[in-house]
């Protein structure tokens, strides 16, 4: 019987994934303030030295965790052109994703909330919010240019309102999973924004 040896890159990726998973589980269980590099290494079955080698510091680990948690929350949008259709698919997919929240998704919302009172997290989540707003702004501006979105819609202010609603639903779902019916909300919220924005 032969076994295929993993490459160094595969071993590194496997270790990083295990460490990020361990970090997410610990934040989910105890909050970011209780997170330590030693605890992450122990949970993942590696040494603290390896955690430090890959991430350098707790701050860098948390930043990587936040980026990993946010990436790909709504799959299938990358190849769509910007505009109203992509925006509505994002809204619908985001609400749907909240109904299937995994540890990483919960951790992102927890970190986002803690960023309001944790100075080390504030710049990172300000940047994450700006990136989210920028994507929504692009869709809104493209929809206005295409004539699909009303010309009197203000893209900047509307992007902030959409993020506020999506993250607000996320926080409610985090606090009371059984009390927030995301499948019931999906069509309601998506239709609300279609009616609010559509030119016709």
Which residue ranges form the domains of the chain, and what is each CATH number? 8-65 (1.10.10.60), 72-197 (1.10.357.10)
Q: How confident is the model at residue 139 (pLDDT cuts 50, 70, 90)?
A: very high
As a whole number, mean pLDDT of residues 95-101 equals 87
Q: How confident is the model at residue 1 (pLDDT cuts 50, 70, 90)?
A: low
Residues with Cβ within 8 Å of 187's Cβ and at least 6 positions away in sequence, in order, are: 92
Q: What is the pLDDT of residue 196?
A: 97
Q: To the nearest whole number, what is the mean pLDDT of the chain?
A: 89
Full-model pTM: 0.81
With the C-alpha atoms ordered 59, 64, 67, 70, is the resulting torsion angle positive or negative? negative
Q: What is the pLDDT of residue 85?
A: 96
User: Is residue 35 scored above 80 in pLDDT?
Assistant: yes
Beta bridge partners of 149: 198
User: Is residue 159 scored above 70 in pLDDT?
Assistant: yes
């Amino acid at each position: 019987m032969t076994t295929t040896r993993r490459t160094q890159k595969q071993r590194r990726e496997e270790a990083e994934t295990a460490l990020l998973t361990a970090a997410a589980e610990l934040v989910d269980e105890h909050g970011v303030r209780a997170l330590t590099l030693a605890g992450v290494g122990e949970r993942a079955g590696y040494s603290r030295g390896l955690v430090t080698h890959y991430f350098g510091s707790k701050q860098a680990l948390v930043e990587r965790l936040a980026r990993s948690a946010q990436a790909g929350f709504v799959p299938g949008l990358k190849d769509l052109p910007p505009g109203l259709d992509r925006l509505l698919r994002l809204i619908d997919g985001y609400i749907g994703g909240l109904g299937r929240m995994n540890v990483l998704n919960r951790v992102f919302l927890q970190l986002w909330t803690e960023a309001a009172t944790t100075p080390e997290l504030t710049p990172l989540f300000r940047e994450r919010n700006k990136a989210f707003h920028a994507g929504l702004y692009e869709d809104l501006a493209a929809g206005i240019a295409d004539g699909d979105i009303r010309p009197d819609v203000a893209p900047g202010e509307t992007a902030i309102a959409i993020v506020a609603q999506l993250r607000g639903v996320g926080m409610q779902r985090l606090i009371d999973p059984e009390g927030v019916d995301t499948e019931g909300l999906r069509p309601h919220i998506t239709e609300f924004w279609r009616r609010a924005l559509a030119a016709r």
